[in-house]
A and B are shown apart, each in its own frame.
Chain A
């Protein structure tokens, strides 16, 4: 399949989201659902850079999302609602958190990395719960949405819809460029065979840290948008179940393709909605569906129309030995 054909599915999905308001999906309900899918899609895209690009399975991405959301709440509390301040601040704060926690967690790998990202996520969660000025456990209701040049542009549903769509598409393009760049090549090589990357002179750590920080900043921006979409912020945004949900979006969509994250986010948001109408105990059906998808969609939803771009690494005979050496070489 050619490179162009590979892009058919994501382009169709984005075009569908662009057309939706003109096809009758312009009710408050439809807009809310699509906004949720697009915002979580952005966060899932950033997580896919880590999981699919760098091989870093983080279980703490919701913390970045939450920090972005809480930045909106904190600034709202302080009377600052200018988009030109609020959104950069949200991205910057989340990126900074990622930089600091990444500098620690990226010293580890595998299961330890998962655990330490989870631990940092929980720290952020409990910190948010104890912010009494911002409602503590009860959360914080925004006075209004963030303002653009003094106007309440984001409160216009259609405008907000297309802003989200542009940001989602922009995130996808940006991260695709990143994956294909020199920087991305080092990330991908380090994921598949870190010893090989080191042997030619690359130390994976700084590359991974930059990727982790970029992913954090993007998730922070998504969190700020989420706060605007719901006009409410609570510790639930940072709950570790949310991190798991984002990870599932990435895996369901397909780790081998960045845009899989968009498909995964859309699928899960719609599925949740559909099942919750269909069944009282819809979460009971959700689990088995997810299991089936993992078992039978090896390359995720993206794999339905496209082969994985990069072959998954075949099991290496040298893996155990290489792993011990790598630990030494990193020291």
Chain B
């Protein structure tokens, strides 16, 4: 087995009396899509927060590309190649779509303590940003102010921003939420095309997409990983069927 890109060792997180992450250990291999599914409130987003560095775990370790990053800040992990999207869309509303992506390109290409040259005239930043927008199908919307885009477009924009960071690992928190059937189809195709280049930890409620994309699936219930396995194993697991997936999903 190749060395994992991401390894979680015994993560634990409590909010007051509520244990939201309960001894979670899992890995994401290079080039793998590892899906995390589970009912609402299971602690999926909280888990992503701890991996990205927006929240510190109470216990346990986050190891990324062989380095212990548990104590690293959120921006530092981002610079190291850990990109994430947010369940609640997170963009710069007053920037155009292009400038939102150019910000990410700028973060990985040289110092940003540059004071005199107009950033919006830097062709290198704009070209890379435009390419990322085209990659998610937003090329024609580059000049639109992000705050005025549709919800689906904002989600695509966030994905373009994450890709523009040229990360090694993508943490995606329900990237398909709120997308229409056509958008979903396109995004699933896009995620499939990304698989070879990145490791992806995918939190998603759309089971069709999860089963179509994931190499491995972990089921999270009350903060605990109840099972990790291949799509086939998860599909046929009796407990998962009854406890989480419901009969109609299996029909």
Using CB atoms and an 8 Å cutoff, list the residues of chain A in contact with chain B: 177-178, 180-186, 188-189, 192-193, 195-203, 207, 210, 310-314, 316-318, 321-322, 325, 328-331
A180 touches B118 (CB 8 A): yes
Chain A residues within 8 Å of B73, by CB: 198, 203, 329-331
Known contacts A177-B115, A183-B114; is-contact A328 B91 (Cβ 8 Å): no
CB distance A328 to B75 under 8 Å?
A: no
Please state if B88 and A321 are interface contacts (CB–CB under 8 Å): yes
Within 8 Å CB of A316, what residues of B? 93
Tell me whether A329 and B54 are in contact (CB under 8 A): yes
Which residue in B55, B94, B107 is a CB contact (below 8 Å) of A311?
A: B94
Q: Is the CB of B94 within 8 A of A318?
A: no
Distance A197 CA – B118 CA, assembled complex (angstroms): 19
Q: Is the CB of A196 within 8 A of B54?
A: no
Looking at the complex, which of B98-106, B208-216, B236-244 is the stretch in contact with chain A?
B98-106
The answer to the question of B222 belonging to the interface, with a C-beta cut-off of 8 Å to chain A, is no
In the bound complex, do residue A328 and residue B90 qualify as a contact, i.e. CB atoms below 8 Å apart?
no
Query: What are 15 contact pairs spanning A and B, CB under 8 A?
Result: A181-B115, A182-B111, A183-B113, A185-B112, A186-B106, A188-B92, A188-B94, A195-B86, A195-B90, A198-B73, A199-B84, A200-B107, A311-B94, A325-B49, A329-B54
Does chain A have a CB within 8 A of B143?
no
Select B119's contact among A180, A192, A195, A207, beta carbons within 8 Å: A180
Chain A neighbourhood of B111, CB < 8 A: 182
B120: interface (CB < 8 Å): yes
Alpha-carbon distance A207/B107, docked complex (angstroms): 13
List the A residue with the shortest CB-CB distance to B145: A311
9 other contacts beyond A203-B76, A318-B88, with CB at 8 A cut-off?
Answer: A182-B115, A185-B103, A185-B106, A185-B119, A186-B106, A193-B93, A199-B83, A203-B75, A207-B113
Query: Could you tell me if B90 and A193 are in contact, using CB atoms closer than 8 angstroms?
Result: yes
Question: Shortest CB–CB separation between residue B183 and chain A, in angstroms?
Answer: 20
Docked pose: A22 CA to B88 CA in angstroms: 59
Q: Do A180 and B120 have beta carbons less than 8 Å apart?
A: yes
Q: How many A-B residue pairs have CB under 8 A?
A: 135
Residues of B within 8 A of A330 (CB): 73
- Which 5 A-B pairs rank lowest in CB-CB distance, beginning with the nearest? A329-B74, A318-B88, A201-B78, A201-B79, A201-B107
Q: State how many angstroms separate the Cβ of A316 from the closest Cβ of chain B.
A: 8
Least distance between B155 CB and chain A CB atoms (Å): 13
A182, A193, A198, A310: which contacts B91 (Cβ < 8 A)?
A193
Q: Is the CB of A196 within 8 A of B118?
A: no
User: Which residues of chain A are near B25, meaning CB under 8 Å?
Assistant: none
Q: How far is the CA of A200 from the CA of B99 in the complex (A)?
A: 13
Q: How far is the CA of A207 from the CA of B88 in the complex (A)?
A: 26
Q: When the two chains form their complex, are residues B116 and A201 in contact, meaning their CB atoms are under 8 A apart?
A: no
B90 contacts which of A188, A199, A202, A311 (Cβ < 8 Å)? A199
Which residues in B have their C-beta under 8 angstroms from that of A182? 106, 111-115, 117, 119, 122
- Chain A residues within 8 Å of B161, by CB: 199-200
Contact A177 B56 (CB under 8 A): no
Q: Mark B137-176, 1 if CB is under 8 A from A, else 0.
A: 0000000010110000000000001000100000000000
- Kindly provide the distance from the CB of A179 to the nearest chain B CB, expressed in whole angstroms: 9
A311 nearest in chain B by CB position: B94
**Chain A residue at minimum C-beta to C-beta distance from B88:** A318
Tell me, yes or no, whether B228 is within 8 Å of chain A by CB: no
**By the criterion CB–CB under 8 Å, are A200 and B93 in contact?**
no
Q: How far is the CA of A300 from the CA of B54 in the complex (A)?
A: 37
Q: A185-B103, A207-B112, A318-B90 are in contact. Are A198 and B117 (CB under 8 A)?
A: no
CB-contacts of B26-52 with A (<8 A):
49, 52
Q: Which residue of A178, A203, A317, A328 is within 8 Å of B115 (Cβ)?
A: A178
Whether B89 is near chain A, meaning CB under 8 Å from some CB there, is: yes
Contact yes or no, B49 A193, CB < 8 A: no
- For the complex, what is the distance from the CA of A160 to the CA of B104, rounded to whole Å? 45
User: Do residues B74 and A199 form an inter-chain contact, with CB atoms below 8 A?
Assistant: yes
- Report how far A182 CA is from B90 CA in the complex, Å: 20
Complex Cα distance, B92 from A198, in Å, reads 12
- On chain A, the residues within 8 Å of B223 by CB distance are none
**B104-135 contact mask (Cβ, 8 Å, vs A): 1 or 0:** 10111001111111111010000000000000
Q: Which residue of B lies closest to A185 (CB)?
A: B119
Q: Does B56 lie within 8 Å of A328, measured CB to CB?
A: yes
Residues A313 and B147 in contact, CB atoms below 8 Å apart: yes
